[in-house]
């Protein structure tokens, strides 16, 4: 837990300050991608349990994970309202394929590196959802990782991601995304949010680094290329490390964290005011309207949404 803002909350503010007020001040339920989220939560918990069991009881981490999946499955199947036994069977095959692909590729390597991280950090290194906190420009902020690994020259927070990660986490050669969004009037709030999270994780993990040891966040996708075939289901893993990405954009991100904290402390939630009248961001409310309002679950009760129709006739 953190007393400050989380990367998720800051990302919502970047999407639309009014949306932030609805979801994090008034505490209305936000947009839902519930079934997909639950599937990813299941996999994240399963993988982390595999590691915990391996460390505590010496079991093979993959076996520990599959056992955890079996234990959690009925609860999951009830919660997501699967339509048929065939659909449930397919979903479980997908989950098992994801766990297999994950542990085949990096299970043992990361188990050893988790042990190394535990020796360095001396605090829980296996989640899911370990909250890392940092102070950036005088503001406490937090972000979640699923586990922490360490090598001789680096401490890395690992965030297991969902199917949308490919479009949300920028590629290494897209280092301009944060500057384009914040300083040049582009609108990529969710991508910038993944960079915010990486910056917070880096700063938090720096606490454990020493001379010559760096820290960074790694996004690791478990199921994103899963597909069904006549023989069953295949899965792959992929990852993106964010340390090199941050080198050109750290200052921009830190400034954004500061102005969002100031705006939220001042209860500034009007997107028109934030985007059209402040100097923090070089875009316009129109970009919120064109990209976010249409799919926003708060549109029906949102005065900004009414005014947008008068402003832009959308």
CA-CA-CA-CA torsion for 134, 136, 139, 142, nearest 10 degrees? -30
Residue 277 burial (CB count, 10 A) = 10
Check binding of 304 to ligand SF4 (CB under 6 A): yes
Q: Tell whether residue 12 is a contact of ligand SF4 (CB under 6 A).
A: no
Q: d(Cα 277, Cα 264) in Å, to the nearest integer?
A: 16
Residue count at the site for ligand SF4 (CB under 6 A)?
14
User: Could you give the 3-state DSSP secondary structure of residue 44?
Assistant: helix
Query: CB of 264: closest distance to ligand SF4 in angstroms?
Result: 15
| Contacts of 144 by beta carbon, 8 Å cutoff, 6+ apart | 6, 7, 127, 128, 129, 130, 131, 132, 159
Name the segment binding ligand SF4 (CB under 6 A); options: 13-21, 65-73, 133-141, 153-161.
Answer: 13-21
Residue 155 interacting with ligand SF4 (CB under 6 A): no
Nearest distance in Å: CB 11, ligand SF4? 13
3-state secondary structure 251-299: HHHHHHHHHHHHHHHCCCCCHHHHHHHCCCCCCCHHHHHHHCHHHCCCH
Single out the segment in contact with ligand SF4 by CB under 6 A; choices: 34-42, 166-174, 180-188, 301-309.
301-309
Please identify, among the stretches 11-19, 66-74, 78-86, 110-118, the one whose residues bind ligand SF4 according to the rule CB under 6 A. 11-19
Minimum gap (Å) between residue 188 Cβ and ligand SF4? 15
CB nearer to ligand SF4: give 135 or 294: 294
Here's the x/- map for ligand SF4, 243-282, by CB under 6 A: it reads as ----------------------------x-----------
**Rounded Cα–Cα distance for residues 297 and 1 (Å):** 27
Find the part of the chain contacting ligand SF4 (CB under 6 A) among 16-24, 75-83, 129-137, 246-254. 16-24
Closest contact distance (angstroms) between CB of 299 and ligand SF4 is 4
Buried b (16+ CB within 10 A) or exposed e, 227-255: eeeeeebebbbebbbbbebbeebbebbee
Q: Which of 7, 16, 200, 235 binds ligand SF4 (CB under 6 A)?
A: 16
Burial (Cβ within 10 Å: 0-12, 13-18, ≥19) of residue 308: buried
211 vs 303, beta carbon nearer ligand SF4 = 303
Cα 189 to Cα 8, 173, 210, 288, 292, distances in angstroms: 11, 18, 33, 10, 10
- Per CB under 6 A, 106 contacts ligand SF4: no
Q: Does 62 bind ligand SF4 (CB under 6 A)?
A: no
| Binding site residues, ligand SF4, CB under 6 A | 16, 18-19, 22, 271, 288, 292-293, 296, 298-299, 302, 304-305
């Amino acid at each position: 837990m953190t007393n400050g803002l989380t990367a998720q909350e800051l990302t919502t503010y970047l999407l639309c300050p009014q949306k932030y007020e609805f979801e994090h001040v008034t505490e209305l339920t936000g947009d839902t991608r519930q079934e997909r989220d639950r599937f990813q939560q299941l996999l994240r918990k399963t993988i982390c349990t595999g590691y915990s069991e391996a460390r505590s009881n010496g079991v093979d981490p993959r076996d520990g994970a599959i056992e955890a999946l079996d234990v959690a499955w009925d609860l999951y199947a009830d919660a997501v309202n699967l339509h048929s036994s065939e659909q449930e069977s397919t979903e479980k095959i997908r989950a098992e394929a994801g766990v297999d692909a994950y542990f085949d590729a990096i299970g043992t390597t990361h188990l050893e590196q988790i042990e190394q991280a535990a020796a360095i950090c001396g605090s829980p290194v296996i989640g899911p959802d370990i909250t890392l906190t940092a102070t950036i420009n005088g503001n406490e902020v937090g972000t979640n990782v699923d586990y922490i690994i360490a090598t001789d020259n680096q401490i890395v927070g690992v965030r297991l991601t969902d199917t949308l990660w490919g479009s949300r986490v920028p590629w290494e050669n897209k280092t301009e995304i944060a500057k384009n969004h914040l300083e040049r009037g582009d609108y990529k709030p969710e991508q910038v949010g993944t960079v915010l999270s990486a910056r917070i994780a880096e700063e938090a993990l720096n606490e454990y680094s020493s001379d010559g040891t760096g820290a960074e966040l790694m996004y690791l996708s478990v199921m994103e290329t899963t597909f069904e075939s006549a023989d069953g289901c295949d899965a792959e893993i992929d990852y993106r490390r964010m340390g090199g990405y941050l080198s050109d954009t750290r200052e921009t991100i830190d400034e954004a964290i500061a102005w969002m904290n100031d705006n939220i402390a001042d209860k500034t939630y009007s997107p028109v005011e934030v985007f059209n009248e402040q100097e923090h961001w070089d875009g316009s409310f129109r970009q919120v309207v064109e990209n976010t309002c249409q799919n926003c679950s708060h549109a029906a009760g949102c005065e900004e949404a009414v005014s947008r129709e008068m402003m832009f006739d959308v």
